[in-house]
Structure 1
Amino acid sequence: MVSAAAQVGVLAACVVLFVPMGLAGWHLSRNKVLFFSGALFVSLAVGVHLSPYLPSLPHLLVSSFHPLRPAAPSSSSSASCISVLHRVSWADAEPHGGGRAWSWPPSLAATCGFARLTRDDASTLLNGSWVMVAGDSQARLLVLALLRLLLDPAAAAAAEPELFRRHSDYHAAVPARGISVDFIWAPFESNLTRLLREDLRLAPRTPDVLVLGSGLWHMLHVTDAPQYGEALASIADAANSLRSPLPVPPPHMFWLGLPRLVNPMLNTDAKKEHMNDTMLQAYDREVDERCILRRDGGPFRLLDVGKLSRGCEQQCTADGMHYNGVVYDAVMHIMLNALVIESQQRI
């Protein structure tokens, strides 16, 4: 949004420059060459006076052709494809039922072009982008899935211990592609609101992809669904206000939904007491009712971890809360395919 000072400056420039131009046109209308020469001179003067208030051309060009900045509104067919991204099938992995595997039904994949991205595909899609994921341990698992795709196996394995350092942030880069990946430890909703209202507002640029998620810590330590809903409303307001003063589209924003909780498998008495099906349903309702999701007019597109974890079933979790990498691999590919559709870009 243009500041008041900028608006006053623009108005003054218009008065000072366009009024003389109009008068010149009135008096010089019989001499077309002289009139257009004067008009050209005054137009150049206008440009010089207004240039401090306008974004630079290189910035506009970079923004217009950034691989993750949508070039045009999504078509109705693209919107319908995004709505079915979570419609994946689960089956026992081969051979001999070694874990679980997911896939899109062939007809759906053919109709919408859904596909698992290779390392090269993902690097091309995210070329030059800044990806930020903020939240709790579930958000770390999503970052790990992304690093396993972007990095070679040895580099991803070396990154894992640093990524999972307790209560810490993490940064990784893919220099050859100019990709930056940041994990921000933000287990409570107030952490996310502060990130949006303070840290990112002061940053020289905003992330191209922003994934946020919370709820597990609130459910365990606060156990108050309406209060959680109020905190979600604050996050939505902060995300909606995350706009650059320049005409650059906001980040692609995703919300990491809560996983299915298998209460008997939870590893502490406090978790078993507070993190039950009734409480999970209450927290999910708050997400549905607080206009935080795109389908409800909010800023975030849902990554439905709950649906995917239910599809993978109980055998995909060891502690009733954190799920195997295959679940977050599915979450990551759903996000990347949504980016492909939103960016009007086909790999």
Structure 2
Amino acid sequence: MSKSDASDLLNGSWVVVAGDSQARFFTLSLLNLILGPQAKRMGSVRADLFKRHSDYSILVHEIGMKLDFVWAPYVVNLTNSMMGFKTKKSYPDVMVMGAGLWHMLYVNNASNYDFALRMLKSSVVSLLPLTASASIKSPHLFWLGMPMLINGMLNTQEKREKMSDRIWHAYDRALGDSRLLRQTGGPLVLLDIQSMTWNCGPRCTSDGMHYDLVIYEAAVQVMLNALLIESHQSL
């Protein structure tokens, strides 16, 4: 989808992207498409967006699109964001969220992750009927999946121990068991970073965790095409 197509689709929208560093790269890729990678603003966007552990907001005046990035490295942070929307009765048009890598490294308990995902699902489901009853269109919700981790390329011994293939798969199973995703009967559409990173492999990453922008650009295209399909279905 071209810059023009994406701009038409997101015209006047409020977009929220919440999560960890993967979500930052997704946000950068979306703004690269909307503004153009050579736009003068992109230099300051990159500098401000990648300030450690911080939120970021931008208004793209040309199309009236507001974009908020919310630093939310744990699923509980995502749940709190959802409850904040509910409290304020103000909901984004599009929300992309995803978290798991920090939990894997610092909590390292797939059962706890499963519980956190189930709590997030409950908060999302409780929000959706409210938007309908208030005659507000329900937001389009996406889950930014975790990337494939290349254990031998991870840059610390702690990461190599706590983010092993076995633990990664346990976390992936927890996501499926939580029924958060549309494919398991839940409310969120999966942006399948796992498949994209698997197909691109070691040549697309320098640290086994963060991938080249081509991965996140592909995820942006998947999201935009899903939005296009849903907009046509609602006509």
Q: Give the TM-score normalised by the residue count of structure 1.
A: 0.64
What's the CA shift for 1:250?
Answer: 1.5
Shift of 1:332: 0.4
- Residue 157 of structure 1: how far off its partner (Å): 2.6
Equivalents in 2 of 1:264, 1:340: separation in Å?
39
Q: Where in structure 2 are the equivalents of 1:25-44 lying within 5 Å?
A: none
Which ranges of structure 1 fall in alignment gaps of 5 or more residues?
1-116
Deviation at 1:123, TM superposition (A): 0.7
1:70-81 to 2 correspondence within 5 Å? none
Could you tell me how far 1:190 is from its partner in structure 2?
1.0
Secondary structure in structure 2 of the residue aligned to 1:165: coil
Aligned residues: 228
What's the secondary structure of 1:253's corresponding residue? strand
Match of 1:325 in 2: 213
Where 1:283 maps in the other structure, the secondary structure is helix
Q: CA deviation at 1:204?
A: 4.6
Does residue 240 (structure 1) correspond to residue 135 (structure 2)? The answer is no
Hey, what does 2:42 align to over in structure 1? 156
Alignment of 1:77-88 (within 5 A): none
Aligned to 1:270: 158
**Per-residue deviation at 1:172?**
1.1
- What is the CA distance between 1:330 and its match in structure 2? 0.3
Within 5 A, what are the aligned runs for 1:203-214?
Answer: 203-214=88-99
User: Following the alignment from structure 1 to structure 2, what is the Cα–Cα distance between the partners of residues 203 and 338?
Assistant: 27
Q: Secondary structure at the match of 1:254?
A: strand
d(CA) in 1 for partners of 2:218, 2:31: 14
**2:108 maps to which residue?**
223
| 1:295 to partner: Cα distance | 1.2
Residues 252-292 of structure 1: CA deviation (Å, up to 9, x unaligned):
00001110000111111110110011011010001111110
Measured in 2, the distance between the counterparts of 1:249 and 1:316 equals: 38
Aligned equivalents of 2:210, 2:88: Cα separation in 1: 32
1:124 aligned to 2:8? yes
1-side partners of 2:90 and 2:80: how far apart? Answer: 16
Deviation at 1:118, TM superposition (A): 1.3
CA offset digits 1:289-316 (Å, max 9, x no partner): 1110011111100000000000111110
Amino acid at match of 1:342: E
Q: What secondary structure, in the 3-state scheme, does the structure 2 residue paired with 1:160 have?
A: helix
Match of 1:183 among 46, 58, 69: 69
Identity of paired residues, percent? 47
Aligned equivalent of 2:203, options 295, 315, 325: 315
Higher RCO (CA-CA < 8 Å; seq separation 6+): 2
Q: How far has the Cα of 1:155 moved from its partner?
A: 1.6
Q: Which runs of 5+ in 2 are unaligned?
A: none
Query: How many Å separate the matches in 1 of 2:43 and 2:10?
Result: 21
1:97-116 mapped onto 2 (5 Å cutoff) = none
Q: Kindly state the Cα deviation for residue 176 of structure 1 after the two structures are TM-superposed.
A: 1.9
**Structure 1 residue 205: deviation in Å?**
2.1
Cα distance in 2 for partners of 1:203, 1:150 equals 28
